[in-house]
Amino acid sequence: MLAMILKEFRQVRRDRRTLAMLIVMPVVLLLVFGYAASFDVDEIPTIVVGTQAEMVSERLPGIFRVETVDVAGDRDELESELIAGVAHVGFAAEGEEITALIDGSELFMAQAAVRVISGASGQQPGLSYEILFNPDLDTSAVLIPGLAGLIIVFVGTLVTSMSVVREREAGTLEQLAVMPLKPKDVFIGKIAPYFLIASLDIVLVLLIGTVLFDVPFNGSVVPLAIGAVMFLFVALGVGVLISSVSENQAQAIQLALMTTLPQIMLSGIIFPLSSMAPGVRWIGYLLPLTYFNLVAKGAMVRGAGLIDLAAPLGLLAVLGMGIFGLAVIRFARQLRPARARVSA
């Protein structure tokens, strides 16, 4: 038995990647997720409009971080700003009436806002609140758009990386390299089925979400579709990049998990980005799922349009072009490492 234990230790010691997974990763994950795992809301981006906007903004509790005060603004403008995601709470202060509009797509901020406003309504006559987009503050309405992104990550990154590595393990990638096929054709041919399957998965998840779990679809399908396609390019690109540095399928799975776990925890799907410690929040802003989640939630729950979502869509496009471009280059290099002279 001792011989068996020693043999196993030797094997683990020589598999450096697994060793790193076993020792370094738990520490890193605990530190990162420990700082990220928080539902506490310290501040909520807020806009105040209406004739009494100046006065109201001065009296607001500290949790409401006032971004804009617009005495000429009205409720319609406020709603537009909330749809665009500029702020998550808006106060419309006209005469004696103060109406707080709360963005229900940001679950924890909305719950915190409701708590604070309910507590203050006894001291401030005329104060009322209204929850927009997700009036019952349903968790599924907030989670399911992000889950669609997770499915893209799973199919795009994990399955694609394994598929390319499997091709290399079987020696068939060499076959493809020798065939008179352009690397671009091989690359597109390789990822196209996963692109279609992941697209179908997204449609299914969102259909099931809206039909079974009553997730609202308040906006247009166009920004969501554009965001999904761009995010899919990122996920597929990451999958191909992982395959290019993995010698076998086990390594590909390890690496895919290493890239998927932080996306689940730090992209704002589970824990709000604003609640995370600044030391780990920046990681969330580097993750493509963060921006897909913003697009999906914005388009579905808040009914945001293309212009409202221009920033996350733009960032997804930049990430998509960068990662996908790098994946194409790496893949082409794998297929054509040498330039031997070809005699006709």
- Which residues bind to another protein, rule: CB under 8 A? 169-172, 174-181, 336-344
Q: Which is nearer to another protein, 27 or 340 (CB)?
A: 340
Residue 172 CB, nearest approach to another protein (Å): 5
Among residues 11 and 172, whose Cβ is nearest to another protein?
172
Q: Using CB atoms within 10 A of its CB, is residue 89 exposed (0-12), middle (13-18) or buried (19+)? A: buried
Q: To the nearest whole angstrom, how small is the minimum distance from the Cβ of residue 247 to another protein? A: 14
- What does DSSP say about strands 97-103 and 127-132: parallel, antiparallel, or unpaired? parallel
Residue whose CB is less far from another protein, 16 or 341: 341
If DSSP codes are grouped into helix, strand and coil, which group holds residue 219?
Answer: coil
Q: Which residues pair with 99 in a beta bridge?
A: 92, 128
Q: Which residue has the tokens 């690109």?
A: 237
Task: Tell me how far, at minimum, the Cβ of 332 lies from another protein, in Å.
Answer: 13
Pick the closer one to another protein by CB: 2 or 340: 340
Helix (H) or strand (E) holding 151: helix 139-153
Which two structure tokens, joined as six digits, stand for 22? 């076993």
Q: How far is the CB of 344 from another protein (least distance, A)?
A: 6
Q: Nearer Cβ to another protein, position 118 or 172?
A: 172
Min dist CB 340 to another protein, Å, is: 4
Length in residues, the chain? 344
Smallest distance from another protein to CB 163, Å:
11
Both tokens of 26, joined, read: 């738990």
Among residues 239, 195, 228, which one has the least CA distance to residue 298? 228
Report d(CA 193, CA 160) in Å as an integer. Answer: 10
How far does the chain reach from its first CA to its final CA, in angstroms? 63
Which of 285, 297, 257 minimizes the C-alpha distance to 141? 297
170 or 257: CB nearest another protein:
170
Nearer to another protein, 91 or 187 (CB): 187
To another protein, the closest distance from the beta carbon of 185 in angstroms equals 9
Burial environment of residue 316 by CB neighbours within 10 A (0 to 12, 13 to 18, 19 or more): buried
